[in-house]
Amino acid sequence: MVLRSLIAGWILLPLGIGGAAAAQVSPVLVWEAGSIDGPPETIWGRIADALIMDSAVVALDIVASEARMFDLGGGFLRYVGGEGQGPGEFARPVSVTEVGDSAFVVSDFAQSRLSTFDAGGDLLHTERIELPRGGYLQEGWVLRHGWWGGFMGLVGRGPDEQGRDLSEDSLRLVRWKPGAQIDTLTSIPGNPVKVRLTIAAHRWHPSGSTGPGGGFAAVGDSLVVALDGTGGRVIHYRVGVDAWSIVARRDLPERGRLLSEPERDELERVWRDAQTDELLDLADEVRIPAGRSPWTGLRVDGEVLWLRRAGFSELAEGYGEEWVALRPNGLLGTAFELPPSVRLLDMRDGRIAAVRKDHFGVEHLQMYALDGSR
């Protein structure tokens, strides 16, 4: 069983990672769906997320407030949801995750709701969530023993209920049971780029980021994985009846570090190249983070954890993402780099769902394969 072997592989091995450099492979494009004036199902506002299921791909359009389902060969199946406030309707759908083998959940940022659909796209139920100040649910999971979980992004500035600056945290792992208060389990420090604006009393405002310092993922309904890239570790939580417990910790080969002046100058150059002239005209000063996490994202595919290496793709279009496999035996495995302006959304059985933005700004839903997987 994949879940059991993943847990066992992480618990039984000693801490520390070694081994030779990762082998590099090239993803192969299998199909894509995107156009300016083609069929309606290929015209996107903005693709926020996608999920690969056993026999379908679910993709979210955050502008059209809808989900679209395609078969694994790229054939269009149906629309799901749509703009509105009724059950199963969305305002700003931001993420889609799988529930078991026969359902999926869509997180609605604007309405703080989770809507669950069966594998065919029919609505099962919708639930509203009360979030703390400055928070929005970026991804939600249905877990065992009545637990819900997910990770929360943060907006705004100033202190939260615990007195922490909202702009300094990028993601928080949260858990709750229906009707109960949301509990923050852990947080990942962000790497915010801040700008002092001349029209706003010379205050510092978050304006972009050099990437979150890690990420979170659910494995089945009983295991949650947290990547603390700044601290250089991966933590596994088991979902229990009344509480969650840490069942494994592992050190990563790299952890966060201070950046040199040339590195910070290069980050600022890339950031400035990606901004509008209007914002740059108002910017009195730009503050680039002093440090950076080497790992800025996490995905799970079977027994393999995939880590996204920090790069310029967090700051601007035109750069490719690099992903490295961290296997249950504790070694770095296969690595791959996506083409420029392509962002990975999901992985399953050697398939990669991604979004590409072309030079006209048109988005394309893409399916790639690793090692010939189709």
pLDDT in tens, 290-325: 888 889 899 988 878 999 998 888 878 888 999 999
What is the rounded distance in angstroms from the CA atom of residue 247 to the CA atom of residue 39? 49
* Neighbouring C-alpha atoms within 13 Å toward the C-beta of 301: 23
What is the rounded distance in angstroms from the CA atom of residue 330 to the CA atom of residue 323? 16
> What is the helix (H) or strand (E) element at residue 364, kind and residue range?
strand 363-369
CA nearest neighbour of 35 among 45, 24, 43, 27: 43
∠ CA 7-211-321, nearest 5°, is 75
Q: Is residue 352 part of a domain?
A: yes
Q: Is residue 285 part of a domain?
A: yes
DSSP 3-state of 347: strand
Residues of the chain with pLDDT under 50: 1-20, 157, 372-374
What is the rounded distance in angstroms from the CA atom of residue 3 to the CA atom of residue 75? 31
Pair of tokens at residue 30: 């299998």
Q: Is residue 374 part of a domain?
A: no
* End-to-end Cα separation, the chain, in angstroms: 22
Residue whose structure tokens are 């080497």: 294
Phi, psi at 221, each rounded to 5°: -115, 10
Q: Is residue 151 part of a domain?
A: yes
Strands 332-337 and 322-326: antiparallel
pLDDT in tens, 69-89: 999 999 999 999 999 999 999
pTM above 0.75, yes or no: yes
**Residue 163: predicted pLDDT:** 54
- Domain of 33 in residue numbering reads as 2-369
**Residue 217: predicted pLDDT:** 92
**Residue 6: predicted pLDDT:** 45
Give how far Cα 293 sits from Cα of 169, 228, 254, 301, Å. 13, 9, 9, 23
Say which CATH number the domain at 301 has.
Answer: 2.120.10.30
Provide the number of structural domains found in the chain: 1
